[in-house]
Amino acid sequence: MKNSTWLIVLLFIVLASNSQIKAVDSLKLLLPKEKTDTGRIQKLIYIGNAYWEKRNDSALIYFRDALSRSEQMGYIRGEIRARSSIAEYLYNFKTDHAKALELFLYNLKVEEQTGDTLFIFWDTRHVGIIYERIEDYGKQFEYVNRLRNLVNSGLFKDSAKRSLYGVIVDNRLGTVYEKKNNLDSAKYFRLRVFQYGIANKDLLRTATGSIGLGEVYKKEKKYDSALHYFRIALATAIIRNKDVYRHGLISIASLHWEMKQTDSAFHYAEKAYALSQIANIHLQMIGAAELLAEIYHTKKQPDSAYKYLSRSTALKDSIFTSEKLVKVQNLSLQESLQKLQQEQTKREAVAEYKSKVKIYSLVAGVAALLILILILYRNNRQRQVANKKVEKAYVDLKSTQSQLIQSEKMASLGELTAGIAHEIQNPLNFVNNFSDVNKELLTEMNFEIEQENYGEVKSIARDITDNEEKINHHGKRADAIVKGMLQHSRSSNGIKEPTDINALADEYLRLSYHGLRARDKSFNATMKTDFDQGIGKINIVAQDVGRVILNLINNAFYAVDEKKKGPQATKGGAEYEPTVSVSTKETNGKIKIKVKDNGNGISQKVLEKIFQPFFTTKPTGQGTGLGLSLSYDIVKAHGGELKVETREREGSEFIIVLPKN
């Protein structure tokens, strides 16, 4: 079965290649007929792209021809596109990271002068990818942050494109956090990419998001979830993107190898190596060859193991030579020095401007005071009165001088705080702007009310509501920035402390109930508690366990509310009374915390899935499917267990069992 699938994939690649060659031939026939120079350059780039994986050298010839023609006629956009295509070709097929980085950095300088936001976005992304491939994760993170700031700058007016570019940034952030082994953050951003792909039927984003999630779950040793997402990636990538498909093959081969499923690992690794060799993608060839060498070594086939190990070593030597690495490091150092020089030049220019303003202000002030003294001297014949006014002018001059000195000090303080203020200035500007707009709209609304034009009043009210939502959104952005800074400096070791579990459970029961009542005034339920007062205090991380209890209580209230709104509420003629009970009890040195409801219960067909990540029975938008999964992990981390007992149409009871010490 596996061999037949492999033959189908090869046939698909051959057919795609033949179709690609026909497209090239059609473009080449149109090239002599093109009347404009810019149109000819664009077609040269199209032909190069069509040759991309079939005839690499031919692609480079067409890209260079397009660059040469663009430089001769001063066609800047053509230069940028051709240079970017050459650079992308160099790091993909020739693995010449240094030359590719040099071309991309040169492009970015030109693009910053022309203000072409779209080209800046893509070339910044390429630079970040190159730094990732040479394992300079600090520089990679710097350029991913530049991408994120660019998307959030408001320069992209089209909401659909802005959403797509945001997802591209999410994918890069997922990669950065995975490299840093921050798996929770990596999973968050990878999931955003995957969800976007599913929602927008974007196969490429679905495939890349799936591979990313698979890699994270593989690192977490959750092999079933990893295998699930890798299979989704292969199914979608083979249709949309061969590069992602090869990446997926290497990932799933590595997963099977880690799971000690040698035959499956060999099947996928061999397929990945063959396709990478056809496409001439060296980095993918290295990954597949290293895995094949390990497999053959395990199979005790030293000749084959040596063959693939030699191939991977030779490819690595050609890519990561000391000369190339030094060149890349020099480029990175040169870039950093240029930035420092630019910042220094900017600071010097600002300082010079401020100095000139101060001098001109001082001269103007002195001149004004001298004129005043002269006028007073000429207009006042009495020497005593004139002397008093001259003395007053002198005092004013000294005061002005003191103010200028104070201004200099304040300017220095401003430079110190500018870096801190910069991060939150942008969202605050949005808040201020929309507040100003709302003031104007309220003025208009008062006028329309006086005119009794209530249709226009409603329209203005909707605009004000929309603006308030935007103010709220950007306020939350600023809040998130500040919280992120505080979170970055906060250290939390999750230390267990003696905690009154009865008080903790009672607190979160009230918190949950009143929180739901605040959102829905019609919500009502009976709360019952039965606490074992002899338990005393137990050693737990109170915040984490409280989070588990709150999640279970929220779920219980949700269950009884759903039953009250459904047909089961009046079944049998008696009125349904929604009830949630929380109890604690010590048994054999263990503490049991029970959260019980009389809702509809959990059906047997979904019972075994409720602790799986992202599984939820709630409607879309009302649940993430992570609450019970995280609760399960927290209880396990405390050395306890989380169980559930349920009967359909009668209710459920979740039981937390924790050791007392």
Separation CA 122–CA 146 (nearest Å): 11
pLDDT at position 642: 92
Say how far residue 239 (Cα) sits from the centre of its chain. Answer: 26
Domains in the chain (CATH in brackets) are 1-116 (1.25.40.10), 497-659 (3.30.565.10)
Q: pLDDT category, 491, cuts 50, 70, 90?
A: very low
pLDDT at position 22: 58
pLDDT at position 8: 42
Got the DSSP string for 336-361?
HHHHHHHHHHHHHHHHHHHHHHHHHH
> pLDDT tens for residues 209-238?
899 898 999 999 999 998 999 898 888 887
Going from the C-alpha of 362 to that of each of 354, 396, 406, the distances in angstroms are 12, 12, 14
Beta bridge pairs of residue 530: 583
pLDDT at position 5: 43
Lowest mean pLDDT among 130-139, 377-386, 464-473: 377-386
Cβ neighbours for 46, distance < 8 A, ≥ 6 positions apart: 27
Length reported for the chain: 661
pLDDT at position 489: 39
CA angle 412, 418, 423 (to 5 degrees): 170
- The amino acid that residue 153 corresponds to is S
Q: pLDDT category, 387, cuts 50, 70, 90?
A: low
Cβ neighbours for 320, distance < 8 A, ≥ 6 positions apart: 134
Burial class (CB in 10 A: 0-12, 13-18, 19+), 20: middle
Q: pLDDT category, 487, cuts 50, 70, 90?
A: very low
Separation CA 243–CA 276 (nearest Å): 8
Lowest mean pLDDT among 230-244, 469-483, 495-509: 469-483
10 or 96: which leads in pLDDT: 96
> Which of 206, 212, 267, 270 lies closest to 241 in space, CA to CA?
206
pTM score above 0.85: no
Say how far residue 562 (Cα) sits from the centre of its chain. Answer: 35
- With 70 as the cut, is the pLDDT of residue 266 above it? yes
Residue 232 token pair: 């989704």
Q: Which helix (H) or strand (E) holds 235?
A: helix 223-240
Q: Which helix (H) or strand (E) holds 98?
A: helix 97-114
- With 70 as the cut, is the pLDDT of residue 646 above it? yes
Q: pLDDT category, 417, cuts 50, 70, 90?
A: very low
- The amino acid that residue 63 corresponds to is F
Cβ neighbours for 109, distance < 8 A, ≥ 6 positions apart: none
The single-letter DSSP state of residue 94 is I
Q: pLDDT category, 607, cuts 50, 70, 90?
A: confident
For residues 476-505, give the mean pLDDT.
65
Separation CA 145–CA 99 (nearest Å): 23
Q: Which helix (H) or strand (E) holds 2?
A: helix 2-30
> pLDDT tens for residues 343-366?
545 555 555 556 666 666 666 666
Q: pLDDT category, 597, cuts 50, 70, 90?
A: very high
What is the distance in angstroms between the CA of the first residue and the CA of the last residue of the chain? Answer: 55
